[in-house]
């Protein structure tokens, strides 16, 4: 794998040279943002809802099934006329040398580390926690207590923390940089025939692991890595707090959680690293992942939020067993055809206040919201105590 390692390192250096001080691969995270880090749950995805009892709380995990294999563009590593690495995008209609941000791919990011993958890959296509179709593993969540007899050797892009658990043992890592951040990368071939490349950015507490039998696809995805301030859905990679900063500016939001008719809605999930019994978290909190709410579901979401029971729940968990609300929760960002946008915050794992808050009014989690997690929190993990739902 030395040749592939060299290609990846050259790709990072080449794109770093092209980026200059402000753009390209080296789009560095703004120092003014408060930094966030992710509490690892396992996947939440669109489809079947399962309930897993754990210490008096219910971990509601979603699982999507039946993803089709990618049939759009694929990445082919190549060298340009100057001998520097380039990426060629191939499709059934032909091929053209281009950056990996071309049509046919989609950007995914966590903690500010972004890569591009074939557009028709879905998030968290798993069964019993095992990938069963080409997929992006992101967001964390509860893992059903089951196992597959045979784990298929599918294409996988998996985001994780800087503490790498897969592959085990991890490949030998070599120093590199991504967007001005010190990083480590390494490649190996595993027994099922797939090539695995691991990229770790320690100061952002993030890693991405790419697995495929197509080594060029692996090289193309890893070679697309960059650091971003804002993800593809418009969510900041780092946020000062996951709580309202004050009263909402939008008229009507003093009495209605989401007034009027928003034309767009995005949900951003922030989560802090947390270990029960340890001191309250004070460090950075990063964006775990985000999703756009389907346009035809925005009305259903706002109707659900606007009919919540006023107030918020408290949970008397074990001492020190809850993450701080300021560093853990969901941000729903609503935009309108005119006038100021509106932010609504949801906390589900915080002992002091569990529920919704727009800065002026609050609401309990409702069973209707939980029943529609697939469309209200697509591709995201969710966990809440049973007695917090009204």
CA-CA-CA-CA torsion for 65, 66, 67, 69, nearest 10 degrees? 140
CA distance 390 to 388: 7
Instruction: Return the pLDDT at 282.
Output: 65
| Contact assessment for residue 152 and residue 135, using Cβ atoms and an 8 Å cutoff | no
- What pLDDT, in 10s, does the model give residues 264-317? 999 999 987 655 555 555 667 899 999 999 999 999 999 999 999 999 998 766
What's the pLDDT score for residue 380?
87
Domain stops at, among 227, 245, 276: 227
CA-closest candidate to residue 192, choices 208, 219, 171, 213: 213
Residue 295 lies in a domain: yes
- Report yes or no on 53 lying in a domain: no
Structural domain of residue 356, as residue ranges? 264-388
Give yes or no: residues 307 and 218 share one domain. Answer: no
| pLDDT computed for residue 54 by the predictor | 29
Q: Is residue 242 part of a domain?
A: no
Q: Are residues 207 and 269 in the same domain?
A: no
Q: For the chain, what is the domain count? A: 2
Q: Using CB atoms within 10 A of its CB, is residue 84 exposed (0-12), middle (13-18) or buried (19+)?
A: middle
Same domain for 275 and 156? no
State the Cα angle at 88 between 83 and 90, rounded to 5°: 155
End-to-end CA distance of the chain: 55
- Are 219 and 341 found together in one domain? no
Q: List pLDDT tens digits, range 103-125.
A: 799 999 999 999 999 999 999 99
Considering the domain architecture, whether residues 179 and 276 belong to the same structural domain is answered as: no
Extract the residue ranges of the chain whose pLDDT is less than 50: 4, 7-8, 11-101
Question: Looking at the domain assignment, is residue 249 inside a domain?
Answer: no
Does residue 60 lie in a domain region?
A: no
| Closest to 198 (Cα-Cα) out of 216, 179, 213, 218 | 218
Pair 346, 217 in one domain: no
Domain shared by 220 and 164, yes or no: yes
Do 274 and 342 fall within a single domain?
A: yes
What is the pLDDT at residue 146?
86
Angle, helices 215-223/2-19, rounded to nearest 10 degrees: 30
pLDDT at 385: 84
Q: Indicate the residue among 199, 227, 255 that finishes a domain.
A: 227
pLDDT at 274 (0 to 100): 56
| Alpha carbon distance 133, 152 (integer Å) | 8
Domain-embedded: residue 8: yes
| pLDDT value, residue 280 | 56
Confirm whether 244 is domain-assigned. Answer: no
Q: What pLDDT does 209 receive?
A: 96
Residues 172 and 82 in one domain: yes
Is there a single domain that holds both residue 362 and residue 292? yes
218 and 283 fall within a common domain: no
- Residue 240 belongs to some domain of the structure: no
Q: Which one of 227, 256, 281 terminates a domain?
A: 227
Same domain for 207 and 345, yes or no, is no
- pLDDT recorded at residue 381: 82
């Amino acid at each position: 794998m030395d040749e592939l390692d060299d290609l990846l390192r050259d790709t990072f250096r080449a794109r770093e040279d092209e980026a200059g001080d402000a753009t390209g691969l080296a789009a560095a995270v703004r120092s003014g943002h408060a930094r966030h880090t992710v509490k690892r749950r396992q996947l939440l995805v669109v489809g079947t809802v399962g309930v897993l009892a754990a210490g008096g709380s219910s971990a509601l995990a979603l699982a999507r099934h039946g993803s089709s294999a990618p049939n759009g563009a694929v990445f082919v590593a190549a060298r340009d006329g100057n001998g520097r690495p380039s990426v060629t995008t191939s499709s059934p209609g032909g091929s053209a040398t281009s950056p990996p941000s071309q049509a046919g791919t989609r950007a995914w990011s966590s903690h500010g580390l972004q890569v591009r993958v074939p557009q028709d890959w879905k998030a968290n296509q798993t069964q019993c926690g095992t990938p069963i179709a080409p997929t992006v593993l992101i967001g964390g969540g509860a893992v059903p207590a089951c196992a597959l007899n045979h784990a298929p050797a599918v294409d996988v892009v998996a985001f994780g923390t800087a503490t790498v658990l897969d592959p085990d043992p991890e490949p030998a890592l070599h120093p590199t940089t991504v967007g001005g951040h010190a990083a480590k990368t390494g490649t190996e071939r595993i027994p099922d025939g797939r090539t695995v490349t691991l990229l770790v950015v320690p100061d952002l507490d993030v890693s991405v692991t790419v697995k495929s039998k197509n080594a060029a696809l692996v090289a193309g995805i890893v070679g697309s890595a960059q650091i971003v301030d804002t993800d593809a859905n418009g969510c900041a990679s780092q946020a000062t707090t996951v709580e309202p900063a004050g009263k909402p500016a939008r008229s009507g939001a003093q009495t209605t959680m989401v007034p009027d008719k928003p034309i767009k809605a995005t949900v951003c999930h922030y989560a802090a690293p947390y270990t029960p019994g340890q001191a309250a978290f004070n460090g950075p909190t990063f964006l775990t992942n985000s999703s756009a709410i389907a346009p035809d579901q925005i009305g259903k979401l706002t109707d659900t939020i606007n009919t919540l029971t006023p107030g918020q729940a408290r949970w008397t968990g074990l001492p020190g067993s809850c993450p701080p609300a300021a560093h853990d929760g969901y941000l729903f960002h609503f935009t309108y055809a005119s006038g100021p946008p509106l932010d609504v915050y949801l906390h589900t794992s915080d002992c002091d206040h569990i529920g919704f808050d727009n800065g002026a009014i609050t609401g309990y989690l409702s069973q209707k919201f939980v029943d529609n997690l697939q469309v209200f929190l697509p591709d995201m993990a969710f966990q809440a105590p049973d007695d917090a739902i009204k």
